[in-house]
A = this chain, B = another copy of it.
């Protein structure tokens, strides 16, 4: 029978695993330079922690764990069997809600501001399709317990440094601010429809300007206001978009002006730090309702969806009873970044390289010498392999080739007598005899 993994899940063989680790390691080293620390939460959360946090659609996509033992028996034999009494735990759906739960749970142990990153898989019972999986990794970086805009600037720096390190320095960072959007709808007199407005605006890339306006018409917004909204949305394509254009819309609305000032401040500081590819996008709305301030989104000319996104939330921990803790964070879309880097050929060569040198195996007597030399090379930190079986040389060389091993060491009677190693450079085909000291030197250089 053909073996396989569940629908929408994947195995990672060495090359894919190494590539993914390369992305994670690169981002981790950036996070560390900015003093963010790792945390981890369990794969499972109590069902009550997750339900009601992702909207009706999200709730339906949560993977639930079947109860066991007596609890299950009781449920199965009860008169009113429903989904509810079959499950008390579920797999995490994102990293944000578990992080909020964690912050609330350990609020007395955590010294705020708390800067953390978290790289873990999440599970969603979505219909699998190209680039969308039921198990995928999220890579989140947040600072919570500080409302300083320095945090936003820092996240822009992290985005810039992260994408640049991955070879994607030609990204574009779009910035907006929920306060600015709120100010706009306040001026239009449709403040009560703020969520309708952001939800519709968030679909702009998918359904176009007319789509957005029609959606809003469906929400009973008057036509003269729809026309005002059209003018605002059209600003997206106005290459001369500047602060004064925007100010004419928000007039003297305090919230809107504050939002605008915040975006300006972040962009100005980014520019001072030589980060040039960020700009305001007045139509950026972000799907999640908990954002209250700056919002970010990273796009790339060669990819059709965002690679990273985030924003400031003023009350994420409120859902778990801890009020007035402001935070801001971004999430890197590791799977999308993976796909884009793959398309553009941005992964370093030889991530599948298992060792720097392979000792071929001639027989029992030669093995002892191989073991000794290999041990000395490893002591110097050189990744070294001995082919374990006494098989045809051709097969052993193919093994080296498949694993991108650049050098093959050959030890025969001659070498044993001379206490040397003959080494073949698989690229040049050149073959040379070394003593262990010079071989170490050569492999390290």
Contact = CB atoms under 8 A, between A and B. Distances in A.
B68 A66 contact: no
Interface string A117-136: 00001010100000000110
Interface in A41-66: 41-46, 49, 60, 63-66
Interface stretch (A2-10, A219-227, A429-437): A2-10
Contacts of A91: 43, 65
Contacts of A389: 113, 146-148
A49 B383 contact: no
A359 B285 CA distance: 33
A35 interface: yes
Q: How many copies does the complex hold?
A: 2
A102 interface: yes
Contact of A106 (B13, B87, B147): B13
A15 to B, nearest CB: 8
A64 B68 CA distance: 9
Interface in A343-400: 352, 354-355, 358, 361, 367-368, 371-372, 375, 378, 381-386, 388-390, 398-399
A87 B334 CA distance: 30
Contacts of A195: none
A14 B39 CA distance: 5
Given A68-B125, A113-B389, A388-B150, A33 B381 contact: yes
Nearest to A101: B3
Given A42-B135, A87-B66, A399 B35 contact: no
B105 A273 contact: no
A11 B42 contact: yes
A11 B378 contact: no
A153 interface: yes
A91 B60 CA distance: 19
A29 to B, nearest CB: 9
A339 interface: no
A9 B388 CA distance: 40
Contact of A3 (B121, B125, B320): B320
Contacts of A5: 41-42, 44-46
B153 A371 contact: yes
A243 B99 CA distance: 58
A188 interface: no
Interface of A: 1-6, 9-14, 17-18, 20-21, 32-46, 49, 60, 63-66, 68-69, 72, 76, 81-83, 86-89, 91, 101-102, 104-106, 109-111, 113, 115-116, 121, 123, 125, 134-135, 143, 146-148, 150-151, 153-154, 157, 161, 269, 272-273, 320-321, 352, 354-355, 358, 361, 367-368, 371-372, 375, 378, 381-386, 388-390, 398-399, 402-403
23 contacts: A1-B320, A3-B321, A5-B41, A5-B42, A5-B46, A6-B42, A6-B88, A6-B89, A9-B42, A11-B105, A14-B37, A34-B384, A34-B385, A64-B66, A76-B81, A81-B81, A111-B403, A113-B399, A150-B361, A150-B367, A151-B388, A272-B368, A273-B371
Given A60-B68, A269-B371, 18 more contacts: A1-B321, A2-B105, A3-B321, A5-B42, A9-B42, A11-B102, A11-B106, A14-B37, A18-B38, A20-B40, A33-B382, A34-B383, A37-B352, A37-B354, A63-B65, A81-B81, A150-B361, A154-B388
